[in-house]
Amino acid sequence: MNPDFHIKREAGKCVACGLCLPHCPTYNLLHDEAESPRGRLSLMLALAKNDLPLSAKLESHLARCLDCRACEKACPSYVAYGRALDSARALIESQRAASARPANRSVALIQWLVEKPARMRRLGKLLRLYQGTGLQWLLRKSHALRLAGLNGLDAAVPKLQARKNFAEIYPAENKPMGRIALFTGCQAGLADQEVLTASIRLLNRLGYETHVMPEQGCCGALHLHGGQTVKAAELMRRNIAAFENGSDTIVSVASGCAATLGEYGKYLEDDESAENFSGRIRDINQFLADADWPENIAFHPLPKRIAVQDPCTMTNVLRQEDRIYALLGKIPGAEIIPLPENNVCCGAAGAYHLTQATIAEQLRAPKIDHLRRLAPDILVTSNPGCAGFLAAGLREAGLTIEVMHPVTLLEKQLKT
């Protein structure tokens, strides 16, 4: 992971045509060239070439980037913007290392927590106590969270269910179709529990024996996009080792994780096992939509309006948002409505809603307005970060729209 090399290679491809500008949410919001992909690429290049020193201003322009990669999708010169940005943040972190000052303490804490599954389990215990004893209600009511600057963090955590320990193998329940390995990541005991359970049930019904590798952990996205490349590589290698036995397809239920897992091969250059690992990754929506469905599987009708939010990782990185609509189309009677302006990031963007709360809320506001106007019964999104951030916005707006993963909804309608 040589940051200078990647910045120079990718930013060097930019011909400054400006075709990406209308696709950039921060440029559209702030109307400043330095908040556009073209402007940021020129700043990164100047930093990598030592033409510009690292300054708070330069750092802030790069920190305000959502890493949504809408510009990358629009670029006719194939600039790998995401790669350039991750490299620039790594370069900044390496220069900052001397001061040993983290860029943001909340992000540093989250990065520390996700590094070890045992820390996430302990966090889950604490959060369940916090939510179950009424402490959360009390602190929210007293505005103490807002005063302590913890309201964003608190709002992003969904209501947790009782902890579930996943078995290592779930046998197929139909004509055997093969083995699948399920990526549970760092959130297995927290927000993703329901969708992991739903995914296992659907995979089993389709005939797939499902394996949950116990040694796996965080995909490394938070570290990678925060410039912590050494730690990110360590987390990547742990997952590669955890899934090394067998040639199974690896299915991820969170599109954000699937996007990162699918790029291990690009980040761990010259590592054949990383390339092999990435080649096995499928997003759950993609896998289920492309699978052969036995005739003995049917769904209960659902005469409800279902709004669909397309996470940036699904549209700009995996580029498979159509699979979500194909899956939801299996539910008889459901009215499926794509959320208007689905091509624009909702503002969650990993830890962005914590570090750049004002811009994040400005990006979320039109989504909430669309939801108020459309009045769906359910909002589905395949990324837990978007789900938590949008659910918090709906709560604040006093809207009672249930937020869930498309696969959770599909499984709820499954006929036994």
Residues that bind ligand SF4 (CB under 6 A): 14-20, 23-26, 37-38, 40-41, 65-71, 74-75, 77, 79, 81
Distance CA 114, CA 139 (A): 25
Question: Considering beta carbons, is residue 70 or 410 the nearer one to ligand SF4?
Answer: 70
Contact 8, 48 (CB under 8 A): yes
Q: Which two tokens stand for residue 410?
A: 């599909």
- Measured in degrees and rounded to the nearest 5, phi and psi for residue 188 equal -55, -35
- Residue 13 Cβ, how far from ligand SF4 at the closest point, in Å? 7
Q: Least distance from C-beta 387 to ligand SF4, angstroms?
A: 20
If the CB atoms of residues 16 and 54 are measured against ligand SF4, the closer one turns out to be 16
CB nearer to ligand SF4: pick between 13 and 305: 13
114: Cα within 13 Å, side-chain hemisphere: 26
Shortest distance, position 352 Cβ to ligand SF4, whole Å: 9
Q: Which is nearer to ligand SF4, 15 or 109 (CB)?
A: 15
C-beta closer to ligand SF4: residue 310 or 411: 310
Contacts of 164 by beta carbon, 8 Å cutoff, 6+ apart = 189, 193, 197
CA dist 309 → 295, 313, 338 (Å): 29, 12, 7
- Residue closer to ligand SF4, measured from CB, 225 or 282: 225
Where does 243-271 have alpha helices with state H?
Answer: 255-261, 264-267
Minimum Å distance from CB 331 to ligand SF4? Answer: 32
Instruction: Report, in Å, the least distance between residue 74 CB and ligand SF4.
Output: 6
**Joined tokens for residue 149:** 């600057």
CB of 73 to ligand SF4, least distance (A): 9
Q: Provide the strand spans (E) within 93-197.
A: 169-170, 178-183
Q: Measured between alpha carbons, how far is residue 343 from residues 19, 73, 168, 278, 287 in Å?
A: 15, 11, 38, 25, 22
β strands within 145-237, DSSP E: 169-170, 178-183, 208-211
Residue 80 CB, nearest approach to ligand SF4 (Å): 10
Nearer to ligand SF4, 89 or 211 (CB): 89
Q: Which phi and psi angles does 158 have, rounded to 5°?
A: -75, 170
